[in-house]
A and B are shown apart, each in its own frame.
Chain A
Amino acid sequence: MTAVLVPLVVLLPLLGAAGALILGRHRRAQMAVSLGVLAAVTVIAAVLLVSVDANGPAVVYVGGWDAPWGITLVVDRLSAIMLVISAIMLLVVLVYSVGQGIADQHRETPVSIFHPSYLILSAGVFNAFIAGDLFNLYVGFEILLSASYVLLTLGGTGERIRAGVTYIIVSLVSSLFFLSAIALVYGATGTVNIAQLSVRLAELPGEVQLMLHLLLLIAFGIKAAVFPLSFWLPDSYPTAPAPVTAVFAGLLTKVGVYAIIRTETVIFTESDVTVLLMVIGGLTMLIGILGALTQADIKRLLSFTLVSHIGYMIFGIALGTQLGYTATIYYVVHHITVQTTLFLTTGLIERFGGATSINRLAGLLKASPLLGVLFFIPALNLGGIPPFSGFLGKTGLFLAGGEEAAADPANAWLVWIVIAAGAITSLITLYALTRFWNMAFWRGRRELEGYESVLLGSVLEAPEGATVTATRTTPVLMVVATSALVMLTVCLTVFAGPLFELTGRAAADLLDAGAYVSTVFPGGIR
């Protein structure tokens, strides 16, 4: 019954983008279209989640062509969870950007281009989450990447073009990797349908499997910004407008993580790269957070913490146990929300304080206590302070790690090292964020001149010190959107019990690749 709704999550944003493009000259109508479309998708995603959780995965054979020939769309619990959380994020960030656009007369975000690109980005993200075959996943990636190129270079200033070029070239290379991997997978198995691949790849010789597996992991690793492939992220994200950075930071890397989860569970059931993922996860955490330590600019600092915290998810995936995936999916949801919130708050700080550098911000708490709250809660959350969701997610991951170490003594030392790295990363995150809090919020405005502190000794300014003029106004819509997200992060904590149960069921789905296959092929594979 609800299967009818599945294609709508891609179709609605695409039609909305067309509508928004036609309505380019009528701002209000355009905003109404975009907000309406994303609100509708959010509702659809919620309905899908409830229905999928109750009745099992929804499968749609587009155009009536049966799998494996036609395009198959599959929504299982993991897809539905990702759909819901990303739809909510996209909607809230759109509200925020509408607030910003109204206040700035659209200088930052030329609205006639912004809304259609934003909707196409949404369509790409949703398409990636419901894709039932590798090639459709590739198309989803390309849709969201093309839109993200436009959004990242919005306005075409020199700084954004410079940052955009890095991002675009890296993304192009990763797409070429992905496409080559698809070609080779097709050559080896004669299919790109994920369910059929799950069966056929397992029959290949081990070396061939490993090569295909690594090729796909490289492609997804670039998108997810996993350690050796993460160099591009801190350089390209911070220059974009605040809402764009927030969406990119929250969602785009998680699409890569989602693809890695699928690769590790359903697609490659036999090929095992646990140790590699474990090492990469640990290195991603540590090296990312060490980069964050030296940043004076809060946007760059947050970009580095973003890279670093991808490491936790990779660690959870590497464990490959039910508890590991349960905690990973919860952590993905938590991290999408918290990272988006922090970037939105940074946008508010930028407007209110007129800078994003720790060296030039002071006295914010006195000037705006609300801003203090909006920064403080997600910052503590990201740092992993109990009782927030960051703490719960990390605890879940560490518990899963402990369990795995006990079950598999051969790799136990590696697991414990990565857990230690995770704990250290968490503490350093907390240090970096409280340092920002101390300087920007607690320091008095008059102390700004000639202030000296050991805390500021080692920080580096952004390579191109962006000059922002303080507008001193924080439009109501922007504050409302950010507050809503902060509330959501608190809800993730309050409703952690039911959420963990849900992600637990999603994890059980993932580990049962056979069930996935029989859902897509109810009559069995020929």
Chain B
Amino acid sequence: MTASLTLVVLMAVLFGAGVSIMLERSLTRVLIGFLLVGNAVNILIYLMSGAPGLAPILGEGVDPDTISDPLPQAFVLTAIVINLGITAFMLALIYRSWWLAQLGAKGDLVDDEEDMVEDAEEAADLIRSSAADDQAIQDLIDASDEEPDEGLELEASARDRDDEEGRP
């Protein structure tokens, strides 16, 4: 069996990097580590198919000895699909745990009433701010009708204010 040295080196690097990242505490890094090691294993499977050859399609006039081994390719495809699914689930899990961490001790047990009060406040804020925006736009339009220079100034000041509000 012959194998490409490049692939062997690549596999070793992926294994090493992946394992060392997997040992970190952060869940995101564990996921990245898992992806690296998963790909390293995929390359390992691919390496086991031996020397590369023609596309593995049996037809007339194709010598079966010159095609590459299709089975490891099928394995790799299956493994990639499985990794994809698990990655999606892990990302959802990471998002969920991040979300729970943001809420702190409250966790899922946020009071419904408290929630509703918060919602109402947020809605009121939204209405107020959108009213202010409407007013600013209206001013802008009015100003532009009369004095173009003044309008630009107003626009600039409105942008400044927006920037300040946008900052956390």
Chain A interface (Cβ within 8 Å of chain B)? 69, 135, 139, 142, 146, 149-150, 153, 156-158, 161-162, 164-165, 168-169, 172-173, 176, 179-180, 182-184, 186-187, 192
Q: Which residues of A contact B78 (CB under 8 A)?
A: 135, 139
Interface residues of chain B: helix, strand, loop or mixed (majority): helix
Whether the pair B93, A176 counts as a contact (CB closer than 8 A) is no
B16 in contact (CB, < 8 A): no
* B108 interface hit (Cβ, 8 Å): yes
Q: Is B151 an interface residue (CB 8 A)?
A: no
State in angstroms the CA–CA spacing of A161 and B82 once bound together.
21
Task: Tell me what chain A mostly uses at the interface: helix, strand, loop, or mixed.
Answer: helix
Q: How far is the CB of A428 from chain B (nearest CB, A)?
A: 35
Indicate if the CB atoms of B75 and A182 lie closer than 8 Å: yes
**Chain A CB within 8 A of B48 CB:** yes
Cα–Cα distance between A180 and B11 once the two chains are bound (Å):
12
Of B39-47, B117-125, B127-135, B157-165, the one contacting chain A is B39-47
CA–CA, A50 and B34, complex, Å: 44
Q: A186-B45, A186-B72 are in contact. Are A176 and B107 (CB under 8 A)?
A: no
CB nearest to B72 among chain A residues? A186
Q: Which residues of B contact A186 (CB under 8 A)?
A: 45, 48, 71-72, 75
Interface residues on B, range: 20 to 34
Task: Evaluate contact between B38 and A176: CB separation under 8 angstroms.
Answer: yes
Interface contact A180-B44, CB-CB below 8 Å: yes
1/0 per residue, CB under 8 A from A, across B133-150: the answer is: 000000000000000000
Cβ 8 A contact of B93, one of A146, A153, A187: A153
**Chain A residues with CB under 8 A of B72:** 183, 186
CB pair A146 B85 closer than 8 Å: yes
Contact digits for B75-91, partner A, Cβ 8 Å, 1 yes 0 no: 10011001001100110
Q: A158-B107, A168-B90, A168-B93 are in contact. Are A180 and B41 (CB under 8 A)?
A: yes
- 9 CB < 8 A contacts A-B: A146-B89, A149-B93, A164-B93, A172-B34, A179-B41, A183-B48, A183-B75, A186-B71, A187-B47
Please, which residues of chain B bring their CB within 8 A of the CB of A142?
82
Chain B residues engaging chain A, CB cutoff 8 angstroms: 1, 22, 27, 30, 34, 37-38, 41, 44-45, 47-48, 71-72, 75, 78-79, 82, 85-86, 89-90, 93, 96-97, 100, 107-108
Q: Which residue of A lies closest to B45 (CB)?
A: A183
B30 proximity list for chain A (CB < 8 A): 169
Q: Min CB distance, A203 to chain B, in Å?
A: 16
Query: Could you say which residues of chain B place their CB within 8 Å of the CB of A165?
Result: 27, 93, 97
Given contacts A176-B41, A179-B79, A186-B45, contact A156 B96 (CB under 8 A): yes
- CB neighbours (8 Å) of B27 from chain A are 165
**Given A135-B75, A157-B107, A172-B34: A150 and B48 within 8 A (CB)?**
no
Shortest distance between the CB of A116 and any CB in chain B (Å)? 14
B100 shortest CB reach to chain A, Å = 5
Contacting B48 at CB < 8 Å: which of A139, A146, A164, A184?
A: A184
Nearest B residue to A136 by beta-carbon distance? B78
Look across to chain B and name the residue whose beta carbon is closest to the beta carbon of A162. Answer: B97
Inter-chain CA distance A165–B27, complex, in Å, is 8
How far does the alpha carbon of A139 sit from the alpha carbon of B83 in the complex, in Å? 12
Min CB–CB distance B53 → chain A (angstroms): 15
Closest to B30 in A: A169
What separation, in Å, do the CA atoms of A165 and B97 have in the docked complex? 10
